[in-house]
């Protein structure tokens, strides 16, 4: 059996896509991919090129390496630069000390930052004073577009382009029911895209209000 370490997956659907891509590589007999473990187990024909496996995963936007291969020390990324600035690369008892990251807010950008930091080995605390998901899913993009779509449907019923044979009918709008349907969809998306992902992730979420104290100083040279 050949084992791959895979980073970048955020759900079981990601694992299913990776499995499908790996099983299309010539020489792959079967593949078992686990999102929870961030790993793949493959049965291969003799002589199957490892580069073909990692390339298939990279083609989906994820990163893969042979589990037996030593990790590369690539210090060119922003995350590793921050580790250097903060002194997190110093050796202590038990090996390298993990960088501790606090992410303020829980919107799309905050989630992406938290997941990437966890993926790179940091201890992450996500700080949110209100509802998980931030502005977009809770009060901005998602709920507003649902109401825009509802208004469009009401307009189509009121202004028929086929008046000659399909008379328009002013709709009866039950606002409370429309709002309930809107909120149900918002709750569903919040759980699928935010809460559900955090539940299966080592990032710690705390509910409180955060603030910076003291005079800010640059952390980069």
Q: Where are the domains of the chain?
A: 2-66, 98-211
Distance, CA of 114 to CA of 163 (rounded, Å): 54
pTM: 0.52
Q: Quick one: pLDDT at residue 97? A: 67
> Which residue from 103, 146, 150, 148 is spatially nearest to 123, judged by alpha carbons?
103
Q: Is the pLDDT of residue 70 over 60?
A: no
Domain spanning 2-66, CATH architecture: 2-Layer Sandwich (3.30)
CA dist., res. 81 & res. 96, Å (int) = 15
Rounded-to-integer distance, Cα 211 and Cα 88, Å: 23
CA proximity to 98, closest of 110, 113, 83: 83
User: Residue 156 above 50 pLDDT?
Assistant: yes
Architecture of domain 98-211: 3-Layer(bba) Sandwich (3.50)
């Amino acid at each position: 059996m050949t084992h791959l370490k895979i980073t970048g997956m955020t759900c079981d659907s990601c694992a299913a896509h990776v499995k499908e891509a790996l099983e299309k590589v010539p020489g792959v007999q079967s593949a078992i991919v686990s999102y929870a473990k961030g790993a793949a187990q493959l049965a291969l024909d003799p002589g199957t090129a490892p580069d073909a496996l990692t390339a298939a995963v990279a083609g989906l936007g994820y990163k893969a390496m042979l589990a037996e291969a030593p990790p590369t020390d690539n210090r060119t990324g922003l995350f590793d630069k921050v580790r250097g600035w903060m002194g997190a690369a110093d050796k202590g008892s038990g090996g390298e000390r993990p960088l501790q990251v606090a992410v303020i807010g829980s919107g799309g950008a905050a989630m992406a930052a938290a997941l990437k930091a966890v993926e790179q080995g940091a201890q992450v605390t996500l700080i949110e004073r209100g509802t998980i998901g931030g502005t977009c899913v809770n009060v901005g993009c998602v709920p507003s577009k649902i109401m825009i779509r509802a208004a469009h449907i009401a307009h189509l019923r009121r202004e028929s382009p086929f008046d000659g044979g399909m008379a328009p009918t002013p709709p009866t709008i039950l606002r409370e029911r429309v709002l309930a349907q809107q909120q149900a969809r918002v709750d569903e998306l919040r759980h699928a895209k935010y809460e559900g992902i955090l539940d299966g992730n080592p990032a710690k979420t705390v509910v409180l209000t955060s603030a910076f104290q003291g005079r800010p100083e640059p952390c980069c040279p």
